[in-house]
Structure formats: C-alpha cells, structure tokens
Amino acid sequence: MERKHAVPLVNFVACQLVALFAAFWFRIYLSPRKTSPEVRHTFATVFGIYFVIFCFGWYSAHLFVLVLMCYGIMVTASISNIPRYSFFVAMGYLTICHISRIYIFHYGILTTDFSGPLMIVTQKITTLAFQVHDGLGRRAEDLSAEQHRLAIKVKPSFLEYLSYLLNFMSVIAGPCNNFKDYTAFIEGRHIHMKLLEVNWKQKGFHSLPEPSPTGAVIHKLCMTLVALLLFLTLTKTFPVTCLMDDSFVHRANFLTRLGYLYVVMQASKPKYYFAWTLADAVNNAAGFGFSGVDKNGNFCWDLLSNLNIWKIETATSFKMYLENWNIQTAIWLKRVCYERVPWYPTVLTFILSALWHGVYPGYYFTFLTGILVTLAARTVRNNYRYYFLSSGTLKLVYDVVTWAVTQLAVSYTVAPFVMLAVEPTISLYKSMYFYLHIISLLIILFLPVRPHAHMQRQPQTLNSVNKKKAD
C-alpha cells in the first residue's frame, strides 16, 4: 500500500524537478526576444500536457474534458452567462471527481492524484471567466481598481486558453494566476510593465534594469530543502495519527493535549512548504512571478508566492494567518466570491473553499469552525484592540498574547482538515471539551458588533473613487 502511495508522489517530485530545468531552458532559449508568443504558448502547453499524462495516466482525461467544456462555454455562451456557466460546470465537475475518487474508486487519502491539477484548473477557469465578464460585460465605472486592471477586453484564442490552463510551470502544483499577467509574461511584457512603475532616473539608471530571477530561485530552493528535511524528520516523528492514540485522547491532561496538538499541526506543514515553494521556484526560473521593487530598491519575485512562512509563524490574528497561507487560493476566493456575493460573504467564501478542497467530512468541520473563529476574532479585535495601542509595552503584550491564541486556535481549527474522518474529529474535539467552539459562540452572542468592520469588505469602484475626488 505504501508503494502505491509513493509512486504518484515520486512522479510529482520528478515532474517538478524536470519542470525546474525546463523553466530555465525556456527562459534562456525561448525568450520573447528570440521566439514568438505562439511558439512559447505551444511549448508551454505541450510540455504541460506531457507532465499531466506522465503523472496521472488516463485520469488526466478529466483535466482535458473540463478544459474543453469550459472553452466551449467561453466561445458560445453570452458574456453575461460565461462566469455563471463556467463556475457551475467547473465546480460541479470537480465535486463529482472528488466524490467518485473517494467513495467509488476508494483512493487512499494520502495519494497524490489527479484532483490536484483539476483544482488548479478550476481556479483558473473561473478566474478567467469573471475577468472576461468584467472586461466585456460590465461598465468600467462599476469595477474596482483591481477588477479594472485585470479585466480582459478580448476573448483568448484556443492556444492562449490551453497555455494559460495547462502550461508546464503550474499545471501540476499551481499556483493560480491572472490571464493578463500570464500573457504579458509569454509576450515579454511582464517585467517591463512592473519596472515602469518606478522612476529609474532618480535612482541613477539611464535605462530599465533587467532583473534576474536566479537569486530568488536559489533562495526558494534552499527553503524547499529545509522543508524537505523537516518533512523527513519532524513530520515522521509527529504524524497526524498521534492525535488518534488512546493515550492522547483519554489519558493526557488538557494542557498536554493542547500543546501536543500544536506540535502535531506544526509538523504537518513542511509538505505544503515544500510543494508550494518548489512550484514558485519553477515559475520564477521561467521568468514569471516578478512583482516589482520594494521600498529598499530590491527586486521582488513574489507575485505567485503561495505562502509567507515568516508571517504564518508570527501571525497575531486568524485573518493574518489565513492571508499568508495558500495565498493564491485566498486571492481566488476573494475575487470570485467574497467581493461579488451580495450577502453572507464570509460564510459563502468558507463554503466555496470547502467544496473546492473536496468532500472529506473533516474539511467541513474545519471550515465551519473557521467561520465561528473568524467572526469571533473579528469581534474581539474590533472591541478591544484600540485599548492596547496607547503604549509600546501594551502593544507588545497584546501581540504576544494574540500570537499564542492565534497559533492554538489555528491548530484546533485545522486538525479535522488533516484527520479527514468524522469519528477521530469528534473524539479529538470531545477530548478538548469543544472549548474553542464554546468560546467563539459566547463572543459572537454577547460582545457588541461594530458594523463598520463589515462595511470595509466592498472594494472601491472607479465610480466611487471619482465621486470622492469630486467632493
């Protein structure tokens, strides 16, 4: 059984390493200066399709079927229906695959399978559909500044569509990105556009510099190696199965359980750090992912980064933690759901996130608990944070306490996500006396709600910005 699980994992790592070398070759020998966009699109697509077939065999047909169906929607549906039809077809197909993979074909829960690429493609399909609608079906003044920047004025060609969805840099492990950024990268405008935002003459440059991703790639590969070492040591020493042991559930005292839960959840992170950082390095090696220049004048290659490890480990709020974990998925949820639904944005966003991840019961325990914790944390922050901003000492105390609370709350909330099944989740929460659920409910029920925090959800449209300027 372990060998069955190991084969897809080995294929995944092998493909990502080959993709890394192919990305360097792609940037050097198929650079936009030497090669047409059509050739770059074609190479990225063909190589990506090969990777998917190599990793997943005939199961890769699911990916191709979904892509072709949604391209059919793109070219035949009315502009107003493109995002609606694309969203329901992509999410519906993904959900059917999740269900069949688990409950019909009985895939092992540790297997690296075709649902990963399907999840990434679903994000890209829906992102592209909404951005086409923003560009062709909505008035410019009704869009937020970000929606206006990313809006697509011309439907993509079939080659562009395939390249965006199936390119070898992101088809296996992502991350999701924007169609405009991707086509700018293919056409050689990606870095130039970001550099134009800086006045280089003031910095003593007579022409635009040419940032190299090599340093960023080496740095990320070093982080990948560290994550791999932690996975082979820490993760193997404190497996998730420890949380199901009788000695943990029934014999250890509450504080011991609390501390051990934190350690086990920490030990489950390195595999994500490894996969996402390696995927980021692959894109950077190809020359994709340049985000501009920071305040110190350093070139940044974090446009496609999926996590910020430092901010995750030092997060002082549930919101800060989530914003730096699986960043591109959080951005996708914000752009296709949170900013667009007219009511219950937090609840609907958590539900969409759960559906996208899959149908294991543990996912829904995590996301339902996450809704409670998010609402409770927001209420506490809005009611009490300003009391601690009057002095540096009070602010430090507040940061230390909120860091500890955040890390423990995250461990409690995400435990079902890695345990997956109902029985061990209920057993764990019983052993913890459902303490976080109870505290969160009491906070929501008895602390006053400050409505202005919710009002900040809606992004400013160009129309509202113009009205403020006129005032």
- DSSP character string of 203-219: TT-SS-----SHHHHHH
Q: Which of 89, 85, 94 is nearest to 354 (CA)?
A: 94
Residues 71-102 have pLDDT tens digits of 999 999 999 999 999 999 999 999 999 888 77
Q: List residues bridging with 253 in a β-sheet.
A: none
Q: In angstroms, rounded to a whole number, what is the distance separating the alpha carbons of residues 238 and 242?
A: 7
- Please check whether residue 208 is in contact with residue 361, taking contact to mean a CB–CB distance below 8 angstroms: no
Give me the active site residues, please.
326, 357
List, for residues 280-305, the tens digit of each pLDDT value.
999 999 999 999 888 887 899 999 99
- φ/ψ of residue 456, rounded to 5: -75, -5
pLDDT band for position 454 (cuts 50, 70, 90): very low
What average pLDDT does this structure show over 33-52? 96
Tens of pLDDT, residue by residue over 234-278, are 888 888 888 887 777 777 788 888 898 999 999 999 999 999 999
Number of other residues whose CB lies within 10 A of the CB of residue 206: 6
| Mean pLDDT calculated for residue range 141-153 | 93
| Residues 341-369: tens digit of each pLDDT | 988 898 899 889 989 999 888 999 998 99
Q: Measuring CA to CA, how many Å separate 169 from each of 212, 227, 288, 295?
A: 18, 20, 9, 29
Please state whether 256 falls in left (phi above 0), alpha (psi between -120 and 50) or beta: alpha
Q: What is the 3-state secondary structure (H, E, C) of 89-116?
A: HHHHHHHHHHHHHHHHCCCCCCCCCCHH
Kindly calculate the radius of gyration of the chain based on its CA atoms and give it in whole angstroms: 23
pLDDT at 2 over 50: no
Helix axes 61-76, 115-137, angle to 10 degrees: 10
Q: What would the two tokens of residue 411 be? A: 């461990």
The Cα–Cα gap between 296 and 206 comes to 19
Q: Which two tokens stand for residue 345?
A: 């944005």
Residues 70, 83: contact at Cβ < 8 Å?
Answer: no
- The rounded Cα 338 to chain-centroid distance in angstroms is 15
- The vertex-52 CA angle with 46 and 54, nearest 5°, equals 100
The two three-digit tokens of residue 175, written as one number: 């991350």
Residues in the chain: 471
